[in-house]
Copies of this chain bind each other. A is one copy, B any other.
Amino acid sequence: MTYCIGLRLNKGLVFMSDTRTNAGVDNISMFQKMFTWSKPGECAITLLTAGNLATTQSVVSILDERTKAYSDREPSIIEQPSMFQVARLVGETLKEVIALNADTGQKASTAFNATIILGGQVKGGEPRLFLIYPEGNFVEASKDTPFFQIGETKYGRPIIVRAYDADMSFEDAVKLMLVSFDSTIKANLSVGLPLDLLVYENEQFEFSHQHRIDADDSYFNTISSGWGDALRKAFHSLPNFKFK
């Protein structure tokens, strides 16, 4: 499993992903699930992936190849005129890779499906956030639904629903995501540290912050232990129940 969040704020976009992949509980590995492309002053794009690792790595490799020098490697993800076109390119690539695997002679018991969060900004347009399905189609985040989660989404959802605010600072958004990840990591062995964090500030066309939060990160550990106490306090602050 996996857990990734993409959050749309008024100031920009914030992303976080875990790095654990597993095929059974006794076969776990660490793989990055966050990928970025940028062309300073022109565009900054990121993908967060969940699902079959062979599928998502293949999608990223194909997109990556296309950004290399050779002029015949078209279409390039960093040469698209809009985020909508980027989403179409990623969606089509994803759909093709899945179709290719599904058609091979070898049959696997697992599905080759994958889901992708796409975010970023292309010059001339707004920063945008998309959720791309294995079928290649996609939906965009809006004011009503300003964030997307993929993978093991349930444990960490209630706190985002309650504490998200479009006007929040990047720092608060990171704190919120860490709380959400902490609840998930505590409940599900298939989501694990380290976490990758990425921040995009509107109209910068490059990522402002990108860093990895390891198991020994002191801030994460403060949040992890502090959240238990904070939750218990919150719980006790509610009015008491009385039997009638």
Contact = CB atoms under 8 A, between A and B. Distances in A.
A30 to B, nearest CB: 22
Contacts of A227: 162, 234, 238
A231 B155 contact: no
A175 B241 contact: yes
Contact of A222 (B170, B176, B237, B239): B239
Contacts of A107: none
> Among the interface residues A158, A183, A228, A242, which one has the most CB atoms of the partner chain B within 10 A?
A158
Contacts of A123: none
Interface string A92-122: 0000000000000000000000000000000
Contacts of A232: 162-163
Interface residues of A, number: 42
A175 B240 contact: yes
Question: Which applies to chain A's interface (DSSP): helix, strand, loop or mixed?
Answer: helix
Stoichiometry, as copies per complex, reads: 2
A175 B235 CA distance: 8
Interface in A8-56: none
Contacts of A234: 227, 230-231, 233-234
Contact of A209 (B161, B233, B243): B243
Contact of A171 (B170, B179, B219, B243): B243
A238 B187 contact: no
Interface of A: 154-155, 157-159, 161-163, 170-172, 174-176, 178-179, 183, 186-187, 199, 209, 211, 219, 222-223, 226-228, 230-235, 237-244
